[in-house]
Amino acid sequence: MRVTVRLFARLRDIVGVAQLSRELPEGATASLLWNMLAAEHAGLAAYRDAVSIAVNAEYSKMSRRLADGDEVAFLPPVSGG
C-alpha cells in the first residue's frame, strides 16, 4: 500500500522536503512508518517520543494501522510563549 507523508517545521528541515510517499506492507502502523523514515534520516530519531501524528487530518497514535491512500502528518513539538 502507498501512503503520503507530510512533515512540518524541524522535521521537514531534517528530511529536506515537506511531502513524500512511501510503500508499506499491509497492516503497517504509523510507528513502522516513523521508524522507516528515522532509518533514512537519522536526525528524526530524537523526535520519536515528542512527535504528534495525524492520519487523514485527525490526530492519532503511533499504533494506528494505516490504509492505502492515507495521508500521515508528523508534527514536532511546538515551543514558544
Domain assignments of the chain as residue spans, ordered by start: 2-75
Residue in this structure with the C-alpha cell 500500500, named with its chain if needed: 1
Q: Looking at domain 2-75, what is its CATH homologous superfamily?
A: Beta-grasp domain (3.10.20.30)
Task: Specify the pTM.
Answer: 0.93
What's the alpha-carbon Rg for the chain, to the nearest Å?
Answer: 12
Q: CA-CA distance, 35 to 45, in Å (whole number)? A: 8
* Cα 73 from chain centroid (whole Å): 5
Q: What is the mean pLDDT of residues 9-30?
A: 97
What pLDDT does residue 77 have?
86
Residue 31 has pLDDT above 90, yes or no: yes
